[in-house]
Amino acid sequence: MHIRVLGSAAGGGFPQWNCNCDNCRGLRQGTLKAQARTQSSITVSADGINWALINTSPDIRQQIQSFTPLQPGRAKRDTGIRGVVLIDSQIDHTTGLLILREGERLPLYCTEMVYQDLTSGFPVLSMLEHYCGVDWHGLALDGEPFELSGVPGLRFRAITLSSKAPPYSPHRNDPHPGDNIGLWIEDSGRGQGVFYAPGLGAIEPHLLPLFESADCLLVDGTFWTEDEMIRRGVGSKGASAMGHLPQSGPGGMIEVLARYPDTRRVLIHINNTNPILDEASEERAVLSASGIEVAFDGMDIHL
């Protein structure tokens, strides 16, 4: 299995266009040892030819341009993308669908709740019917494996996560199962598996078997502390209120991941305020000492 990290940042990317926090300013001025990052998305393949795209960020055009296997190469117009899987209906995971409008009908895999959001509060799927069109495949929430047509050798499972629908959603304050999912991705030939969850607010009991059996954990690295946005002076909400488990502190992601020292552990969906973006920071050193990696655009994971 080959996983390519197309984008590793949280919403807004890094640097964020309107942010002058220490990180964003330092990257622009060249005083911070860090890499620019686009908004989070990955692509995965078992044969290196046919790819499943997981989320479509607003930066999808740039991300495709950075990865040759997704680009046209077999016909006048084509792509290595055989289908799209959405883990939620957040704008930073779905706006890129509009960029794919020039292609053929798009096979789309998402839950009923995500489909409802994308045909109501943010009707991107209805809009696409005037362009390429979408063939929707609903995802079951009972853990039943599914495959993407045209992507041989991979099996997926949708894993329900506690979360809220996006602010634009008609049921924003009425959470439903399927508003947000993680993905179990397995190489059906070799058996290796990765648990992908860029938005993870809590380690719920049903997730523990996945953490224990995964060969790679590609999980939420949004914030370092609970009060990071407040401390940086760019927000008023804590990490947990935004649906993210911070890395540091009791019960944080570092403490959780320490239970799985033999598993490859990678943080993704890094917010522009997170000090781990600074490769020379004390926080980054803590992660390195713990054997935890920080995803970057262009990162390749082979299982």
From residue 10, give the alpha-carbon distance in Å to each of 142, 157, 243. Answer: 28, 23, 12
Q: How confident is the model at residue 235 (pLDDT cuts 50, 70, 90)?
A: confident
Q: Which of 2, 26, 31 is nearest to 14 (CA)?
A: 26
pLDDT of amino acid 229? 87
Q: Residue 227 corresponds to which amino acid?
A: D
What would the mean pLDDT of 208-213 be, rounded to a whole number? Answer: 97
Q: What is the pTM of this model?
A: 0.96
What would the mean pLDDT of 192-197 be, rounded to a whole number? Answer: 97
From residue 52, give the alpha-carbon distance in Å to each of 79, 222, 238. Answer: 11, 24, 33
Q: Is the pLDDT of residue 237 over 90?
A: no
pLDDT of amino acid 232? 86
Question: What is the pairing mode between strands 51-54 and 264-268?
Answer: unpaired
What would the mean pLDDT of 274-284 be, rounded to a whole number? Answer: 98
Spatial contact of 188 and 211, defined as CB atoms under 8 Å apart: no
Q: Distance of alpha carbon 248 from its chain centroid, rounded?
A: 20
**Residue partners of 248: CB distance under 8 A and separation at least 6:** 224, 225, 254, 283, 286
pLDDT digits (tens, 9 = 90+) for 21-64: 999 999 999 999 999 999 999 999 999 999 999 999 999 999 99
Q: Which of 12, 183, 195 is nearest to 114 (CA)?
A: 183
Q: Where is pLDDT greater, at 175 or 43?
A: 43
pLDDT of amino acid 241? 84
Distance separating alpha carbons of residues 112 and 243, to the nearest angstrom:
20
pLDDT of amino acid 163? 81
Q: Where is pLDDT greater, at 76 or 114?
A: 114
Distance separating alpha carbons of residues 234 and 39, to the nearest angstrom:
19
What would the mean pLDDT of 59-75 be, rounded to a whole number? Answer: 95
pLDDT of amino acid 280? 98
Distance separating alpha carbons of residues 298 and 109, to the nearest angstrom:
24
Which of these ranges, 166-175, 193-202, 216-225, 294-303, has the smallest mean pLDDT?
A: 166-175
pLDDT of amino acid 296? 98
What would the mean pLDDT of 191-213 be, rounded to a whole number? Answer: 96
Task: Give the end-to-end CA distance of the chain in Å, rounded to a whole number.
Answer: 5
